[in-house]
Structure 1
Amino acid sequence: MTHSSLRPTKTRSRRHDNPSRWILGAACATLLLTSACTPASGSPDGQDGASEVSASALRTSGVSFKTVLGNRYVGAQNNGGGAVIATATSAQAWEKFTLDDINGGSLESGDTVFIIAGTGQYFQAANGGGSSLNAASANALGWETFRIVKQSGSGVIANGDIVGLQTVTTGHWVSAENGGGGTVFAYGGAFGSWEQLAISGLPSGPTTPPPTTTGTRVVGYLPNWYGSYASWVGRVDFAKLTHVNLAFALGDANGHLELAPSSDLATFVNAAHAKGVKVFPSLCGGGGDGRITPFYQPDKVDAFVDHIIDFVVSNNMDGIDVDVEAPDRMGTLYDTFIAKLIAKARPRGLPVTAAVAQWMQYGMSDTTLRSFDFITVMSYDNAGTWTGAGEHSSYAQAQTALTFYANKGVSKDKIVLGVPFYGYCWGNCGGQSSKYVLYKDILAKYPNAWNADWINADGAQYSYNGLATMRAKTTLGKQYGGIMIWELAGDQSTSSEQSLLRAIHGALQ
């Protein structure tokens, strides 16, 4: 099938001016997958799939939660097996729990946790949230999964910090009515005063830091409209990358992902893994929201998440990148989708990342933003075919974008700076008045283009990033979480001294 019906109406994202995105969709072959995430046998609560806790999961016993408003400790009646209450004025056996951080490493804001009472039974939000909370479950599934969030933002959680517990399934907050004195529910619609809990009982000494990728991330997107992925195995310089995001995976009519034939993916993934590079499918892309957002609906989202996990596992991939660029079609449904996706991905050791941009940030909550394993910031397209000539990706714009996301409470090491391997032409652009143009094509026409960011010649104006700006942005990105590239196909071979990827690699040394 082709993607011609997906031509976008908005014009602010990196993909919108690449016509081959829409006309060469035949490379995106149908890959129908059936969900492997069926209910666990004998599951009494009818939840939709078991979580497999990763080997690096960290358990901490003796953890307590005290309501900020009423100074009452959260307790499990009978030490487990009954309702969760908030009546005690001191922390004794019923008020002390084991916190199972399935992300491993230090307990950080945004981590996904299970809470276990003294009898070994798990906290459970009935129906996934919106109702009562009990400590009576023998399962570690969706209804038992919570996200722990610091009121003050991101970072490691310490004793005395004010936190909230949000159900991963529905996004409700654990709430002690009137601040304590009675039963605890999982129906809070926001992180308000009834939902504020002071945590204690965490280790006071140094904690094990979360596992990190050696060196700085270098994440390159590779679209499926430039030929088969197998054909790129000999052209992608894996030694200069840490991640490759394959673009774009879209849902068919039933929410099964389509990206490329499985044999094509296997050839590329195996080659990347042999060089120590991780491969993620990237969901959606600019203009692809019509093939993704319908599956956020409550009656479809669980199956859609299962299809995504199954696709990644079946194709031996390493995580999931979410690149939805339709803020008006995101909101609460998007937040719930991401929460459910993370809840099922992380226990399997699959990171979930997102491509983000300031112009569309209103489409997701700050809690969701901080929940990703890392974000890639699309710091480009400040000008394009939808505007007059101008700088589309300046160094100053990159500084502003990074500061914006740091001020949102995202840890600096989780903010990856996006850079362009393309530019825009205005004026005499080969029969067009403006167009998206790859860096290597600019260089082919103007061999000294590597030495500037702007060309004004032959009745045309070009805006792009040359080598000096790319090196400067890499130095800046190194102070954060690394560099992301849209798109690898836009570069010269790294054997050339004019290669942008070669410049990035050199600036990281």
Structure 2
Amino acid sequence: MPAAGSSALLTSGVSFKTVRAGRFVGAQNNGGGAVIATATVAQAWEKFTLDDINGGALESGDTVFIQAGTGQYFQAANGGGSTLNAASYNRLGWETFRIVKKSGTGAIVNGDIVGLQTTTTGHWVSAENGGGGTVYAYGGALGDWEQLTISGLPTTMRPRVVGYLPNWYGSYASWVSKVDFSKLTHINLAFALGDANGQLQLAPASDIATFVNAAHAQGVKVFPSLCGGGGDSRITPFYQPDKVDAFVDHIINYVVTHNLDGIDVDVEAPDRMGALYDTFIARLIAKARPRGLPVTAAVAPWMQYGMSDTTLRSFDFITIMSYDNAGTWTGPGEHSSYAQAQEALTFYANKGVARDRMVLGVPFYGYCWGNCGNGQTSAYILYKDILAKFPTASGADWINSNGAQYSYNGLATMRAKATLGKQYGGIMIWELAGDLATTSDQSLLRAIDGSVR
């Protein structure tokens, strides 16, 4: 279980069994010497503490330390290429490994087949002949000798709480002290757009690094979100057959260079998607999955005709935008009710999306119609700004006052939606800047956290 005061996943009693010969990986003498794969039963030498330095849930692609009972770590001397030992007290390059699922991405659970890859040279931990002797770190690929079945992980996982954070409210570094990372599992940085050559543009590298380091320190994964509503003209040109492969390479390189944890795709232009979009997603996933990078998508029933059901079901998870059912382009109405959330989840269940891959989107904003101020007859308005006008607004979802009508989600509806989302794949938030600080009992994120724990 997680250590007290730590946001990283620190799990004791983890075992690895070779797939080919069914032998457990062990640290001889419980640490201090060679790593072997001879035992047919997992006892003390074959049980380890797994330290996931990315924090949060253990997911494919995370970087880990593996600690034997003596407190010494697995070490690939010279970063890989020779035998493996469990004789190091360091936490440096030679001791760090990526844990990668054989197939798929996302959370790693008991019974999954995984590989351990050195982070410095890219070699895979390998039990020669599938077990029976010494373990090496010289595998060139995740082949038969390198496949391990993992066990001993916790059987319950925290529901996803995914928050979008746009880049138009100031630098990401400035948000490090404002975001309550303890109440989130993922943050999507919005929005990454392609330049004329398909290179992603989001924020200065140093700004992203400051934010990502702070998020990782508290166990939160960070994805760039591609495109965004209205940004399709900066992405869709690169779906063309002569550009798509280079574009996918640019995306992967950007994610790896900036130490990001996956890729979110937020394309909301169904008439400009179709077969080219399907190909783009297939190639993006094909390049991302071997690196343990999840690919997710923001979706909504109204835009679903733009992608095939096969593509829809290929994402590691989807975030369902169950909001904007009314807005500045309509008359007054509920833009994000509980009933609408239920309908959206049912829609995607009927599309064959697995229950735990459906993340329910909720709004930290609302809409105004009528006397909205500054001569406006309709407006998009953040939740915190609604509260600034109406201090008791958190107790309702609708306000009718002084010739203006407001639709939003108050605390009761947000708690109900969070409870609903917990029964699926979690909750997604557009967007974090709309909330009060979580020190306030009117904070929507605080309400979500209290309902999903």
TM-score of the aligned structures, taking structure 2 as reference length:
0.68
One-letter code of the match for 1:508? V
- Report the equivalent of 2:208: 265
Please say if residues 56 and 102 of structure 1, whose CA atoms lie closer than 8 Å, have aligned partners that are also in contact.
no
- Say yes or no: does 1:406 pair with 2:349: yes
Report matched runs for 1:417-436 at 5 Å.
Answer: 417-430=360-373, 431-436=375-380
Report matched runs for 1:240-389 at 5 Å.
Answer: 240-389=183-332
1:56 partner SS = strand
- Distance (Å, rounded) in 1 between the aligned partners of 2:340 and 2:270: 21
1:401 partner SS = helix
- Distance (Å, rounded) in 1 between the aligned partners of 2:414 and 2:99: 39
1:416 partner SS = strand
- C-alpha distance 229-364 of structure 1, shift in aligned 2 (>3 A): same
- C-alpha distance 107-364 of structure 1, shift in aligned 2 (>3 A): farther
- C-alpha distance 209-426 of structure 1, shift in aligned 2 (>3 A): farther
- Distance (Å, rounded) in 2 between the aligned partners of 1:296 and 1:455: 44
- 1:445 aligned to 389, 394, 411, which one? 389
Q: Which runs of 5 or more structure 2 residues have no equivalent in the other structure?
A: 1-97, 114-139, 143-148
Please say if residues 281 and 311 of structure 2, whose CA atoms lie closer than 8 Å, have aligned partners that are also in contact.
yes
One-letter code of the match for 1:219? V
Please say if residues 429 and 460 of structure 1, whose CA atoms lie closer than 8 Å, have aligned partners that are also in contact.
yes
One-letter code of the match for 1:476? L
- 1:462 aligned to 406, 411, 415, which one? 406
**Percent sequence identity over matched residues?**
80
Please state how far the C-alpha of 1:140 moved relative to its aligned partner. Answer: 8.5
- Distance (Å, rounded) in 2 between the aligned partners of 1:55 and 1:388: 51
One-letter code of the match for 1:243? H
One-letter code of the match for 1:432? Q
- Report the equivalent of 1:391: 334
Please state how far the C-alpha of 1:490 moved relative to its aligned partner. Answer: 0.1
- Distance (Å, rounded) in 2 between the aligned partners of 1:271 and 1:470: 27
Please state how far the C-alpha of 1:417 moved relative to its aligned partner. Answer: 0.1
- Report the equivalent of 1:63: none
Please say if residues 167 and 202 of structure 2, whose CA atoms lie closer than 8 Å, have aligned partners that are also in contact.
yes
One-letter code of the match for 2:188? N
One-letter code of the match for 1:375? I
- 1:477 aligned to 421, 424, 441, which one? 421
- C-alpha distance 346-210 of structure 1, shift in aligned 2 (>3 A): farther
One-letter code of the match for 1:402? L
- Say yes or no: does 1:239 pair with 2:182: yes
Please say if residues 100 and 291 of structure 2, whose CA atoms lie closer than 8 Å, have aligned partners that are also in contact.
no
Please state how far the C-alpha of 1:214 moved relative to its aligned partner. Answer: 2.9
One-letter code of the match for 1:485? I
- Say yes or no: does 1:486 pair with 2:430: yes
One-letter code of the match for 1:273? H
* CA RMSD of superposed structures (Å): 2.4
TM-score of the aligned structures, taking structure 1 as reference length:
0.61
Please state how far the C-alpha of 1:243 moved relative to its aligned partner. Answer: 0.3
Residues 241-265 of structure 1: per-residue CA shift (max 9 Å, x gap): 0000000000000000000000000
Q: Which runs of 5 or more structure 1 residues have no equivalent in the other structure?
A: 1-53, 59-100, 109-138, 142-205
- Distance (Å, rounded) in 1 between the aligned partners of 2:446 and 2:318: 23
- Distance (Å, rounded) in 2 between the aligned partners of 1:213 and 1:223: 31
Residues 118-162 of structure 1: per-residue CA shift (max 9 Å, x gap): xxxxxxxxxxxxxxxxxxxxx999xxxxxxxxxxxxxxxxxxxxx
- Report the equivalent of 1:225: 168
- C-alpha distance 282-211 of structure 1, shift in aligned 2 (>3 A): farther
- C-alpha distance 411-212 of structure 1, shift in aligned 2 (>3 A): farther
1:480 partner SS = coil
Residues 463-502 of structure 1: per-residue CA shift (max 9 Å, x gap): 0000000000000000000000000000000000000000
Please state how far the C-alpha of 1:407 moved relative to its aligned partner. Answer: 1.1
- 2:100 aligned to 30, 51, 56, which one? 56
Please state how far the C-alpha of 1:56 moved relative to its aligned partner. Answer: 3.3
